[in-house]
Amino acid sequence: MIAQADLVTIGKIERHFGVRGEFKVRSLSDVPGRLDNLKQVQVLAPTGEMFEKTVAHVRRAGSTYIMGLVGVTTPEEAATLRGGLLQVPRAPVAVLAADVYFECDLIGLAVETEQGDEVGVLEAILEIPDNRIFAVRKGTKEILIPAAKSFVASVDLKRRRMVVRGIDDLFEERHAV
């Protein structure tokens, strides 16, 4: 089994499809055709269990993909994978431009302000037209921070930390009447 740190998430299982154990997959990869020719994947199930599966087939269906895995033959089996993540071994480190990061490397970073105040942990990166938003959670509170250079002061992957600025107006409790 490959270590979790050596894997990159390329898709999310959305729901079962049809009666043969297939399911719909939303691509989380910005590499064109990344899902088209898959042979093996690691599946991180919603239960936290991880297992390796052979891909039986993949086909594009509009903005999503329909996928079948060897050994998953019923809608009930496919339904148990809903919300699961498809992961593959990280390719040899690609050279990225300065201030450009793989999304999978940002998830889980501790987020703090330039003054050192804890904001929370980056849980997800949401996609909206023409931009992305960092969903940062601290306890039961969530703050959405635009994924823009004007808000991100620095990212330190080794220390697993992101420093943000200019987010004071994004906190709800400061706008309470």
Segment 129-147, tens digit of pLDDT = 888 899 999 989 999 999 9
Q: What are phi and psi of 170, to 5 degrees?
A: -90, -10
> Considering all CA atoms of the chain, what is the largest pairwise distance in Å, rounded to the nearest integer?
56
DSSP 171: -
pLDDT tens for residues 143-166? Answer: 999 998 899 999 998 899 999 998
* Strand partners for 25: 13, 65
Total-model pTM: 0.58
% of the chain at pLDDT higher than 90: 45
- Averaged pLDDT of the chain: 85
Q: What domains lie within the chain, and their CATH numbers?
A: 4-89 (2.40.30.60), 103-175 (2.30.30.240)
| Long-range contacts (CB closer than 8 Å, 24 or more residues apart) made by 122-127 | 122/162
Whole-angstrom distance, CA of residue 167 vs CA of residue 87: 33
Instruction: Work out the average pLDDT over 65-86.
Output: 92
